[in-house]
Amino acid sequence: MIAVPTQNVVQLACGFFINFVAFNTQGFIEESVIDSVSRDGSINKHAGYYSLAIIYAFYTVGNLTAAQMVDVLTPKWAMCIGALCYGSFQVGFLFLNSTYLYISSAVLGFGAAILWTGQGSYLSQNCTKETSSRMSALLWGMHECCLIGGGLLIYVVFSVTDSYDIIPQFTIKLLYTVFTVLSIISACVFSLLREPVYKKEKANCYKKLMTSTFRLLITKKMWMLAVIFSYAGIEQSFWTGIYPTCVSFTRQIGYNTKGLMALNLICIGIGQVSAGILLGTLGDKTRKLGRDYLILFATLIHVGAYILCALNFPADASLTKTDESGMFWKPNKNIALAIGVLLGFADCCWNTQIMSLLCETYPEKSAQAFAIFKFYESALSCATFIFSSLVSLYWLLGTLSTFAVLALISFFIVERERVEIETTTDSVEIDVKI
């Protein structure tokens, strides 16, 4: 029989799977959808990037108070409300206009803050030091199956409706109706979550809780973690919004770039899920191997993917439809799909190890730690979406590679310090017993 903590994490993962089949999939096609609608002059063709920037801006601000909100609402109801905020954003594409798009983007950003902080808190309250790596990998692997499901959905829809260069209004309304319904279903799944196994008492003083969040924010260790969190935000914005746009806008890659974009989403999902399965199977062996070495492996994969991206796509692929070639060869669809697998695999490694590290390092301040994680991640995602609308793809790839190396160095420092402290503590406990 499956243990109760595992059942809770599986149900949590199912809720995230359903919600992000909708949101991650729409994030992949949002700029392409808006580019299609903008041809009649009703909306700015880069409104998709601006929308994503607003989402992450409000997500960033929301994370400053997310820990307190989650404590008041409980993780279950915080995630339920957060999922409904996602639904309010999706429904706006049924009558797309700039005003509602930007307002609902702000609402979604706030909802995302309490959703993800609630996830971190609920996960932490259902795992121990020994099970944190396995539970994090299980949650992330199941959650990221949404990319495969979403990719299959839009591939079938785009193929049936002949959505090649321009996405028809009928297709847009069909997809976003499905996305809205899925967000509502996920809210229902979250509302049925059981009490966490290792439940923590509510804070009596929310001013003290907020103060503890800010105190944790300015600690030396958290400054080091900030570099890691920032890179997580930059690379997340790349694979969720910018890279799919490159695939969609590069005409030389093939006639049906929308269908190829769907296949790319599936490939990213395959990379995410395969990494989740691998790390989940290894379980706590990853602690013995060392998180830092897993992150080194993930960094090498990421940098390799960025190099392939520069070689395979033209410099203006992230900004406009283009017939140009990549840096050294004509865009190749097989390489584009392979890049998707690499991006997904490395992203899963980064996120599961960050989640595991936070659960283990801050078991009593999990909501605060995850709120700070999402604060930095969302702030840099917002900045990246704005940056990506102003510079060429190659400048963006250079920035990603630089931050990847800096994040790797920071992770090595934090992990080595943690191991040293743990070793010293274990030695003291042995001496006391003797």
Give pTM, 2 decimals.
Answer: 0.75
Q: Provide the residue ranges of all domains of the chain, joining segments of one domain with +.
A: 4-433
Alpha-carbon span 87 to 104, nearest angstrom: 9
- Residue-wise pLDDT tens digits, 251-291: 787 656 667 777 888 898 899 888 888 877 766 666 666 77
For residue 430, the model assigns a pLDDT of 47
Q: Tokens at residue 339, please?
A: 């890049």
Read off the DSSP letter of residue 94.
G
> What is the average pLDDT across 104-133?
86
> What is the average pLDDT across 314-343?
84
Give pairs for 93-96: CB < 8 Å, separation 24+. Answer: 93/26, 93/33, 93/172, 93/173, 93/176, 93/179, 94/173, 94/176, 94/177, 94/180, 96/33, 96/34, 96/37, 96/42, 96/43, 96/172
Q: 177 versus 200: which is more confidently predicted?
A: 177
- Residue-wise pLDDT tens digits, 132-151: 777 877 887 787 788 888 88
For residue 283, the model assigns a pLDDT of 61
Alpha-carbon span 243 to 393, nearest angstrom: 9
Using the predicted structure, report yes or no on whether residue 206 has a pLDDT greater than 90.
no
- Residue-wise pLDDT tens digits, 36-82: 777 777 777 777 778 877 887 888 788 778 878 888 888 899 999 99
Q: Tokens at residue 418, please?
A: 């943690």
Question: Picking from 120-134, 168-182, 192-206, 337-351, which range would have the lowest pLDDT averaged per residue?
Answer: 192-206
Alpha-carbon span 303 to 235, nearest angstrom: 11
- Which CATH code for domain 4-433? 1.20.1250.20
Using the predicted structure, report yes or no on whether residue 350 has a pLDDT greater than 80.
yes
Tokens 């409300």 belong to residue: 81
Main-chain phi, psi angles of 196, to 5 degrees: -65, 155
Alpha-carbon span 17 to 175, nearest angstrom: 17
For residue 392, the model assigns a pLDDT of 83
Using the predicted structure, report yes or no on whether residue 413 has a pLDDT greater than 90.
no
- Residue-wise pLDDT tens digits, 363-377: 777 777 877 888 888
- Residue-wise pLDDT tens digits, 13-38: 999 999 988 888 887 777 778 877 77
Using DSSP, state whether 322 is helix, strand or coil: strand
For residue 258, the model assigns a pLDDT of 66
For residue 262, the model assigns a pLDDT of 78
Helix 366-388 with 98-124: angle, nearest 10 deg: 150
pLDDT class of 162 with cuts at 50, 70, 90: low
Q: 62 versus 419: which is more confidently predicted?
A: 62
Using the predicted structure, report yes or no on whether residue 432 has a pLDDT greater than 50.
no
Average of per-residue pLDDT values in the chain:
82
Question: Picking from 99-103, 211-215, 246-250, which range would have the lowest pLDDT averaged per residue?
Answer: 211-215
Using the predicted structure, report yes or no on whether residue 402 has a pLDDT greater than 90.
yes
